[in-house]
Amino acid sequence: MPSIGITSTDIAEPSNSTTEEFTTDTSLEVATIRDKTGVTKHVQKLGYSTTNFTRRGRGAGDLSGVTAGAISEGTAKILSVSNTQTADDFPSYEISAVQKDDL
């Protein structure tokens, strides 16, 4: 089954919307070896990092920039898009994505 993703290193702002917050969180993936007491004795990086993106704002979170296909290294994969509307406020959106990069 093909993955869904965008072809950039972040999440593009949806058209006809305004971004209020954009966050990224990057972590280095590691493997550890612990002794029988639980003390870490060896740590080795696994060769890739993971970046989580979140974009929140006002307007509708559309998927016009999303394409189907395999996700390659350096391409963000959208995990979720949510749109919210209340009677007394503007519509809002949140888009979350993840990206893996070789080191």
pLDDT of residue 2: 37
Q: How far is CA 97 from the centre of its chain?
A: 2
Q: CB–CB of 53/78 below 8 Å?
A: no
The fraction of the chain above a pLDDT of 90, given in percent, is 9
Q: Does the pTM of the predicted model rise above 0.75?
A: no
pLDDT of residue 83: 85
pLDDT of residue 37: 93
Average pLDDT over residues 49-72: 74
